[in-house]
Structure 1
Amino acid sequence: MSKEFTFAIKSICFDEDYRPSDNTRITTNFANLARGESRQENLCNTFRMIDNRFNALAHWDNPNGDRYTVKLEIISVEMNIDGESSGNALPLIEILKTNIVDRKTNERIDGIVGNNFSSYVRDYDFSVLLLEHAKNQPEFSTPDNFGGLHGKLFKCFVNSDTYKDHFNKPPVICLSVSSSKTYHRTENRHPVLGVEYQQDEYSLTDEYFKKMGLKVRYFMPPNSAAPLAFYFAGDLLGDYTNLELISTISTMDTFQKIYRPEIYNANSPAGKSYRPSLKHQDYSLTRIVYDREERSRLAIEQGRFVEENFIKPYQASLEQWSVNYAL
């Protein structure tokens, strides 16, 4: 591949009026909430939960618990495969950008970019490549250099002029903790992030994100049911303000209550030693309709899309680019 990849960013407001396009391959977590008979109610309830969570955490100088509201943008990243705007762009990733509106001062404050993370190449790695590899293995293993290409593509984007022109700080991705690992509560507490948890061994997702240049720490914010996994490049506690961190917590804690109520809407919080389980029965459902089976099915479809339109046609060039990529 003789030219470097170039990236293009598209932004759309994720609000009560958001409707996923029928002809766009779009992150199913967002589209899932915004379809069907419950579309309007789903979205209104989701944003209300986010605002309530934000104000509960940002309680200082906020006596009525309504000072702030969070505005979300869906950030879609496309990559031009030949380095030019040829109309042959690959939908690479989708992330969320949080913005905070202070009703007291009428100020709009930048939040954090990242939060939710959807990646077409990641869908290919986990839902196509890993599943195919596992068919012929007597015990669990991963393919050689699993996640290597995806990690370099992500770092290439974050280090690009396109990213730097749009965002002032590195991304923070906030995901569920792994149901295959046990987490242990520490004595370390942060006023916003809450109590820190640690584990003895990284999960497959942790290792995958490490190849993206991201470290991980696990915190259970005040009044949460379980710790969240925060993936970041610099200093999670030092690089971001409390309001920025709260915007991520309130957004992703809400989404996880919807996506994984067995873990994040459990009726009792995580203890000193905690192993999450999607088979946990003592939990409450939100009033928001979410089709988890559709999310899994479409991850495979998106993975196949990438395989046919990106991996196979450009395999030799991608391998050469990956070998030569220095970051």
Structure 2
Amino acid sequence: MNKEFEFIIKSLSFDENYNPSENTRITTNFANLARGSQRQENLRNTLKMIDDRFNSLAHWDNPKGDRYFVELEIISVEMDVEGKGDTFPVIEILKTNIIDQKTNERIEGIVGNNFSSYVRDYDFSVVLLEHNKNKSGFSTPDNFGDLHGNLFKCFVNSTAYKERFNKSPVICLSVSSKNTYHRTEYQHPVLGVEYLQNEPSMTDHYFNKMGLQARYFMPPNSVAPLAFYFVGDLTGDYTDLELTGTISTMETFQKIYRPEIYNANSVAGKEYQPSLNQQDYSLTQIVYDREERSQLAIEQGKFTEENFIKPYQTILEQWSANYVL
């Protein structure tokens, strides 16, 4: 029988007044934007980009391009391993809500979108680096991502998740710069043109252990495909408006975070390999410290090792080895 971990879900509005809490995983896109002297302007411009992109995609019965705006909630998930009230912040995701100003309706969007995890920082910034130290070739440990994947599946199948959210999460990330993507003939009205890749990326393998599969789409008027990680049927389980909320939110973050790919001045062709080294791209007017973000991931990986992995290692390893849905 599986041990039941308790998950505590907290939410905070992501708007122009957002200030990251001390407990937030500060390598997240939204937390990085919300610091410094240009904090409020950054946030205001980011939210405007999201709304504009949403209306450009949801153009039906929207002649002025201002029918909708998107509200974002930061969903923080804490986990109590021993049931004693001591919690650790394991996951941060985003929840979209769509406001239809024509009907005055508030439409629930998708939960997931951006995905941040202290344990993932630990896996990639501590475990992977240590495993490959002083080795000529790159490899991953046999059980790489098992604990993280099981924790995520445990959360999504928990009572706390099911009481709060009606649908499974969709996580939307950048495509891998190490892979080549091939355009297909399939086109979805909102997701756009589907791409297939030559082989699964390391991220694909990692997210597969979370119970998620991947598809790659380049939305209308985008310049590069996005990677969508989901459970079930991406095109059948979610409405066009729900998917539009995720696309507009995550494409905006990627334009800021990876302008070389998502704000490039040329559109992905039939065969496409993303590159962070190409120079033909435009910058947004939003300040984002990518170097700081990379350094913080290492710091937070070590923080996780000291405050979560080591104190609960025996419990977590035994639980993960025996975990079944």
- Compute the TM-score of the two structures, normalised by the length of structure 2: 0.98
Counterpart of 1:219 in structure 2 is 217
Counterpart of 2:272 in structure 1 is 274
Q: Is the 8 A contact 1:4 1:83 kept in 2?
A: no
* Distance (whole Å) between structure 2 residues aligned to residue 160 and residue 24 of structure 1: 22
- Higher mean C-alpha deviation, range 255-264 or range 23-32: 23-32
Counterpart of 1:26 in structure 2 is 25
Q: Is the 8 A contact 1:125 1:147 kept in 2?
A: yes
Alignment of 1:84-103 (within 5 A): 84=84, 86=85, 88-103=86-101
Kindly state the Cα deviation for residue 26 of structure 1 after the two structures are TM-superposed.
2.7
Kindly state the Cα deviation for residue 37 of structure 1 after the two structures are TM-superposed.
1.2
- Paired letter, 1:196: E
- What's the secondary structure of 1:238's corresponding residue? helix
- Higher mean C-alpha deviation, range 1-10 or range 316-325: 1-10
* Distance (whole Å) between structure 1 residues aligned to residue 286 and residue 115 of structure 2: 20
2:164 to 160, 163, 166: 166
Alignment of 1:62-101 (within 5 A): 62-84=62-84, 86=85, 88-101=86-99
- Higher mean C-alpha deviation, range 298-307 or range 166-175: 298-307
* Distance (whole Å) between structure 2 residues aligned to residue 267 and residue 14 of structure 1: 29
- Paired letter, 1:116: N
- Paired letter, 1:61: D
1:179 to 177, 180, 188: 177
Counterpart of 2:46 in structure 1 is 46
- What's the secondary structure of 2:190's corresponding residue? coil
* Distance (whole Å) between structure 1 residues aligned to residue 23 and residue 292 of structure 2: 16
- Paired letter, 1:313: P
Counterpart of 1:14 in structure 2 is 14
* Distance (whole Å) between structure 2 residues aligned to residue 44 and residue 318 of structure 1: 41
Give identity over the alignment, percent.
76
Alignment of 1:1-327 (within 5 A): 3-21=3-21, 23-28=22-27, 29-84=29-84, 86=85, 88-327=86-325
- Structure 1 regions of 5+ residues with no counterpart? none
Kindly state the Cα deviation for residue 3 of structure 1 after the two structures are TM-superposed.
4.2
How many pairs does the alignment contain? 324
- Paired letter, 1:24: N
Q: Cα RMSD between the aligned structures?
A: 1.1
- Higher mean C-alpha deviation, range 127-136 or range 48-57: 127-136
- Paired letter, 2:235: L
* Distance (whole Å) between structure 2 residues aligned to residue 32 and residue 154 of structure 1: 24
* Distance (whole Å) between structure 2 residues aligned to residue 151 and residue 259 of structure 1: 25
- Paired letter, 2:25: I
Kindly state the Cα deviation for residue 69 of structure 1 after the two structures are TM-superposed.
0.1
Kindly state the Cα deviation for residue 223 of structure 1 after the two structures are TM-superposed.
0.6
Q: Is the 8 A contact 2:2 2:323 kept in 1?
A: no
Deviations 1:30-56 (A, max 9, x none): 121111111111011100000000000
* Distance (whole Å) between structure 2 residues aligned to residue 26 and residue 281 of structure 1: 30
Kindly state the Cα deviation for residue 200 of structure 1 after the two structures are TM-superposed.
1.9
Q: Is the 8 A contact 2:182 2:271 kept in 1?
A: yes
* Distance (whole Å) between structure 2 residues aligned to residue 121 and residue 191 of structure 1: 36
Q: Is the 8 A contact 1:4 1:82 kept in 2?
A: no
- Higher mean C-alpha deviation, range 148-157 or range 130-139: 130-139
* Distance (whole Å) between structure 2 residues aligned to residue 175 and residue 71 of structure 1: 20
* Distance (whole Å) between structure 1 residues aligned to residue 184 and residue 83 of structure 2: 47
Deviations 1:286-309 (A, max 9, x none): 000000011111111111111001
- What's the secondary structure of 2:236's corresponding residue? coil
- Structure 2 regions of 5+ residues with no counterpart? none
Deviations 1:55-87 (A, max 9, x none): 000000000000000000000000001134x1x
Q: Is the 8 A contact 2:2 2:324 kept in 1?
A: no
Kindly state the Cα deviation for residue 137 of structure 1 after the two structures are TM-superposed.
2.3
